[in-house]
Structure 1
Amino acid sequence: MEELNTPLFKKVYDLYKEFYFCLRDFPKTERYSLGQKCNLLIAELLEHVFQVNYAHKSGKLVYLEQASLKLNLLRIYLRLAKDIRVLKDEEYIYFQTEIEEIGRMLGGWSRFIKGN
């Protein structure tokens, strides 16, 4: 499956794996609320990135925009997790760095599709 080898898919896949292990350290009260919300957003982001590979040119933009929306929501929820001290500062920095790179990749792909 070639679509599993794209740099963007790999990046989001790795983000999901890292968050999965981080989620186990969330307090029980937040694991099934805020933690689960973040987990779901990353899973949906992964699905949208996967779907881009199967969509026609016009449909690709729709999935890229949906992925971008999920990514922006994830930024907000991770910031909240840091602010209420559920997420450690170093974990937050790691996730934000990865999210920034994923955002650049999504933006670049969108610009490429719009230009062609």
Structure 2
Amino acid sequence: MSQSLSIEEKCLEMIKYGYVVLKQFPRYEKHGLAAEIRATMWRTHRLIVTALKRYHKKTTLTDLDVELTLLKRQARLSKELGHIDNRRYQIWITMMVEIGKMLGGWIKHVNSSKPVKAAAL
């Protein structure tokens, strides 16, 4: 993986790998937990695209942080239930952690930006 990829590209790589992992789920979970994980991955991607397009990003980035945390917890639950082996879990969670680090830097940058003062009338 290249280090110069954007957060959106990293998210798409994580989703692609997630689909490979989710194929290994048992049949009875494909419409339960696996469907929830797929939906969370796509909500995460949607929030990244939304944040890239918005001028005011703080609430969107907070929502993105919540979705990413939820996705990590769903992946951990899947491992604990035995649907994912340790190797696949480690690869997948590493991708999520990398996105989380990029998101943390983005949030820190947005929070440190000084607000633009309105022109005095």
Q: By percentage of residues, which structure has more helix?
A: 1
Q: CA deviation at 1:32?
A: 1.1
Q: CA deviation at 1:20?
A: 1.1
Which structure's CA Rg is the greater one?
Answer: 2
The residue aligned with 1:76 is: 73
- Following TM superposition, where does structure 1 have runs of at least 4 consecutive aligned residues deviating by more than 2 angstroms? none
Which letter does structure 2 place at the counterpart of 1:86? H
Alignment match of 1:91 (pick from 48, 71, 88) = 88
Q: 2 CA distance for matches of 1:77 and 1:66? A: 17
Q: CA deviation at 1:61?
A: 1.3
Q: 1:36-89: per-residue Cα shift (whole Å, max 9, x none)?
A: 111111100000000111101x2x111111111001011111111000100111
Aligned length: 110
Structure 1 residue ranges without an equivalent (≥5): none
TM-score normalized by the length of structure 2: 0.86
Structure 2 residue ranges without an equivalent (≥5): 114-121
Q: CA deviation at 1:6?
A: 6.2
Q: 1:3-53: per-residue Cα shift (whole Å, max 9, x none)?
A: xx9610000011111111221121111111111111111100000000111
Percentage of identical aligned residues:
24
TM-score normalized by the length of structure 1: 0.90
The residue aligned with 2:64 is: 67
Q: 2 CA distance for matches of 1:14 and 1:21? A: 11
Which letter does structure 2 place at the counterpart of 1:81? S
Q: Of the two structures, which has the highest relative contact order with CA contacts closer than 8 Å and spacing of 6 or more? A: 2
The residue aligned with 2:26 is: 27
